[in-house]
Structure 1
Amino acid sequence: MLFDKILAILYNFIYEKEAIQMVKRYCTYYIKQIYDYVEKRANNEFRKYDLTLAQMTVLMILSSHPQGVLALKALEHELGVAQSTTLGIVDRLEQKGFVRKMDSPDDKRVKLVQIMPEGMVPCNSIQSDMGVGEEYLLRGLNAEERATLKRLLQKVCKNIE
């Protein structure tokens, strides 16, 4: 993927002072910094549930769907990762008792994933923490700046859909 190649090139120079200044000219540097911070903070927070950010993301997606059920293929699409990656995350969650896999009653070829009551516990707990985390990240921005940032990020996300 082009983004990965760009990041690889940029981070090959990260230890050189001049290169750091060059890298900071690109938005991708700041996006990566934010992502790394959020991932680290989230993984630390989710550790008390024995969950990773990726696993918690799956639980949050499932909890937002009717009856907490979603086709594995649809989950893969929402995550934006390969089927094998999605299946690995779901398998680990199933081993922990947070989700279960089942065949669709309409089409046995379709695999469904359902969140279990045990999987709802961290979802309910994390909801307020997510707001606190976002508030921390955006604390230096006023309401208008926050709205502008959100609008611009949504535009960037549309570019990669």
Structure 2
Amino acid sequence: MSPASPASPTPPASPDPAAPSAPPARDDSRARQTAPLDEVTLEVLSLFGEVSARYHEEYDRAASRHGLSGAQARVLSLLYAEPLPMRQVARVIRCEPSNITGIVDRLEERGLVERQPNPADRRVKLAALTDEGRRVVRELRDNLPFARQPLAALTTEQRLQLRDLLRRVLGERE
């Protein structure tokens, strides 16, 4: 048989009209990730870094005034909303569960945290703030002018907009 024969096993020379003309969406996202960064994106990334660095410097200073490490203060702040399983604390803080155990041990010795059984699974321990731990977290938050002052200059609508944009950047729902 000749290559032009309809029964030929070779693909036709012209593109198949039913074939997708663009790569799948996953390939598009990969292309966006490897595309050169424009000047605005580079500036935004730089500003993210500066804000993060200034916040962490201030947070670490506030923590040290209470005799806490930055990691201890972050654990306390995380627990302010609700008691959490130790593994979840480790995941959110982004450190090994064994490190969280040591951090919680030291906070417990100071009377800032206590371990409680999880009502849903008594094998799991929850880390929970004591009343003193709650007081320390409030003082820590009161000693973060960088975290408050720039945001105070924004209207409520602007702060909501900023929050929603940051959630979007992080891939969370608005």
TM-score category by the smaller chain? 0.5 to 0.7
Stretches of structure 1 that go unaligned for 5 or more consecutive residues are: 1-21
Structure-1 separation of matches of 2:148 and 2:132? 28
1:135 aligns with 2:148: yes
Structure-1 separation of matches of 2:122 and 2:112? 22
1:100 aligns with 2:114: yes
Paired amino acid for 2:140: I
Which of 96, 111, 126 pairs up with 1:82?
96
Aligned to 1:37: 54
Aligned to 1:64: 81
- Which structure has the bigger radius of gyration? 2
Deviation string for 1:56-87 (max 9, x for gaps)?
2222222322xxx3221232344344323322
Q: Do the aligned partners of 2:55 and 2:147 also contact (CA within 8 Å) in 1?
A: no
Shift of 1:98: 1.4
Structure-2 separation of matches of 1:88 and 1:27? 36
Structure-1 separation of matches of 2:50 and 2:139? 26
Across the two proteins, how many residue pairs are aligned to each other?
134
SS at match of 1:124: helix
TM-score, normalisation: structure 1: 0.64
1:28 aligns with 2:42: no
Greater CA deviation, 143-152 or 101-110? 101-110
Q: Percent identity?
A: 25
Shift of 1:99: 1.3
Stretches of structure 2 that go unaligned for 5 or more consecutive residues are: 1-38
Structure-2 separation of matches of 1:105 and 1:31? 39
Instruction: Give the 3 Å change call, closer, same or farther, for CA 147–63 of structure 1 in structure 2.
Output: closer
Shift of 1:41: 0.8
Paired amino acid for 2:110: K
1:149 aligns with 2:162: yes
Structure-2 separation of matches of 1:123 and 1:50? 13
Give the number of the structure whose residues are more often helix, by fraction. Answer: 1
Shift of 1:143: 4.7
SS at match of 2:170: helix
Structure-1 separation of matches of 2:102 and 2:45? 28
Instruction: Give the 3 Å change call, closer, same or farther, for CA 127–140 of structure 1 in structure 2.
Output: closer
Paired amino acid for 1:133: F
TM-score, normalisation: structure 2: 0.60
